[in-house]
Amino acid sequence: MEKLEAKIGYAFTDKTLLETALTHTSYANEAKQKVPNNERLEFLGDSVLSFVVADWLFNGKARLPEGELTRKRASLVCEPALAGFARQLGLGQYMRLGKGEEMSGGRNRASILADAFEALIAAIYLDGGAKEAADFILPYVQNAADAGG
């Protein structure tokens, strides 16, 4: 986990948040004892991500109309974009997956990676606050936007 913390530039105070963010439902379902999975964090992370991107676009894109802002935000928070951000981090290698998911290529599945990226955002938000979450998100978003995303 320390390696991932170094990659993301954030050290968790509550390491269980990071562990939960990286735990897929398939792992939790196969565990002998109850293990939390990343679905609730994914829910929160989606909202934090959308807010951070909307704020960045609104304040940084000179007077674009609402429709254009909406299109740009959608392109930056969609599954392919988030899976790409997760791949840049190598997030798949840190995931806790069930045996079946592991064997069927889950570590590189776009939906799993995108969900884990959102869960990671929520974990950072809960552990460190909105500024830390935005500091994590914005480099990915800015690079994607510069590349035409």
DSSP assignment letter at 147? T
| Residue 19 structure tokens | 């562990």
What is the reported pLDDT for 63? 81
Q: Say which of 42, 46, 101, 115 is annotated catalytic.
A: 46
Q: For the chain, give me the number of helices (H) and strands (E)?
A: 9, 0
Residue-level pLDDT at 47: 97
Residue 32 is predicted with a pLDDT of: 82
Averaged pLDDT in 10-residue chunks for the chain of 149 residues: 93 97 93 91 98 94 84 94 96 95 93 98 98 97 83
Task: Check if 46 is active-site.
Answer: yes
User: Any idea which residue has 């480099």 for tokens?
Assistant: 139
Catalytic residue among 42, 101, 118, 127: 118
Q: What is the model's pLDDT at position 149?
A: 56
> 149: helix, coil or strand?
coil
Task: Note if 30 is an active site residue.
Answer: no
How high is the pLDDT of residue 29?
A: 87
Q: Among 72, 94, 112, which Cα is nearest to 15's?
A: 94
**Quick one: 100 exposed, middle or buried, by C-beta within 10 A (0-12, 13-18, 19+)?**
exposed
Distance CA 119, CA 69 (A): 24
Report the pLDDT value the prediction gives residue 33, as an integer from 0 to 100. Answer: 84
89-130 pLDDT, tens digit each: 999 999 999 999 999 999 999 999 999 999 999 999 999 999
pLDDT at 62: 65
pTM (two decimals): 0.94
pLDDT of residue 145: 87
Q: How far apart are the first and last CA of the chain?
A: 30
